[in-house]
Structure 1
Amino acid sequence: MSLGADGPPDRVPREPLRIRSRVRDACLVVEAEGELTILTADQLREHVLADMRGLGGPPRVVLDVGEVDFCDSSGLNALIVIWKNAHRAGGEFVLARPERRFRTIIERSGLDRHLIAHPTREKAIAALTEP
C-alpha cells in the first residue's frame, strides 16, 4: 500500500472551500473557510448569489473571510461580482474579519474603496442594520 501525495489512505482530504450561510438581523451572513481561488471562486459566487435571490428586499450581505487562507484574482473577481449584484439590487455587501494578508490584497488591488471591511462579524452586521 502506497501513501502517495495525498497522505494516509484513511485520511479524508480537506475541502478547498467550505461555505455556510444564515440570516441574522435581516442580513445574510456567509462564512467562508479555506482557499478562494480559481478552483473555488465560482462556488462562492453562485452560493452567495443564490442566497441573495432568496432574501426579501434589498440584500444586506456580510461575508466573513476570517478563515480564508488564500485569495487569488479569481477570488477577488467573485467578490466584485457579488458586490455589484448587491448594489444593483439596492443592497450592500461588506467583509468581516479579514486577516492582514487578505486586507493587503484588497488594498493593493484598489478594491478597498468598494469592499468595506469590518474587524468583527458583529460590527459588519451593525454597519448594515443601524440607521
Structure 2
Amino acid sequence: MSLGADGAPGRVPADPLRIRSGVRDSCLIVEAEGELTILTADRLREHVLTDMRDLDGPPRVVMDVGEVSFCDSSGLNALIVLWKSAHRGGGELVLARPGRRFSTIIERSGLDRHLIAHPSQESAIAALTAPGGP
C-alpha cells in the first residue's frame, strides 16, 4: 500500500518531484524534493539542462538532493546525463546533502567516483569555486 503526501492510502501526490533553481556565487543551485523516478527524471533533466544553457561560462552545478526521498535507475540516469553535460561544457556537477539511502544508491552503482557528494550546499559551492577547482 502506498501513502500519499497527506498519508491517505492510495493517494498520489500532485507533484512527486519539486524542483527549484537559482544562481549563487556563479554556481547553479538545483534543489530537488520528492521522488526522482521514471515519472520525474525527464523533467529534472530538462529543467537543469535549460538552466545550464543560460549560465555564463562553464556550468558549475550543485544538485541538492537532501530532500529526495527515492531515486530509481531513471533518476540515476538523469544525474549521469547532467554530469556529462556539465563536463562537456568544461564545468562540474556535484551533489549536496545526500541522505544515507541516496548515498548508498550512488555508492553501490559506482557513481560515487563521478558524482562527488558534499555535506552542505555551502561546502559544494566552496569546492566548485575554489582556486584551481573545476
Same fold (TM over 0.5): yes
Match status 1:56 vs 2:56: yes
Cα 1:22/1:6, change in 2 over 3 Å: same
- Deviation track 1:52-84 (CA, whole Å, cap 9, x = no partner) reads 000011000000000000000000000000000
**SS state at 1:115 partner:** coil
Q: How far, CA to CA, are the matches of 2:116 and 2:86 in structure 1?
A: 13
In structure 2, the partner of 1:10 is none
Counterpart residue identity of residue 21, structure 2:
S
Superposed displacement of residue 130, structure 1: 1.2
- Deviation track 1:96-116 (CA, whole Å, cap 9, x = no partner) reads 000000000000000000000
Superposed displacement of residue 14, structure 1: 4.0
In structure 2, the partner of 1:108 is 108
Match status 1:41 vs 2:41: yes
In structure 2, the partner of 1:6 is 11
Superposed displacement of residue 15, structure 1: 1.2
Counterpart residue identity of residue 82, structure 1:
L
The percent of aligned pairs where both chains have the same amino acid is 79
**SS state at 2:51 partner:** helix
* RMSD between superposed Cα atoms in Å: 1.5
**SS state at 1:38 partner:** coil
The number of aligned residues is 124
Structure 1 regions of 5+ residues with no counterpart? 8-12
Counterpart residue identity of residue 97, structure 2:
R
Q: How far, CA to CA, are the matches of 2:90 and 2:118 in structure 1?
A: 20
TM-score w.r.t. structure 2 length?
0.89
Structure 2 regions of 5+ residues with no counterpart? 1-7
In structure 2, the partner of 1:71 is 71
Match status 1:24 vs 2:27: no
In structure 2, the partner of 1:87 is 87
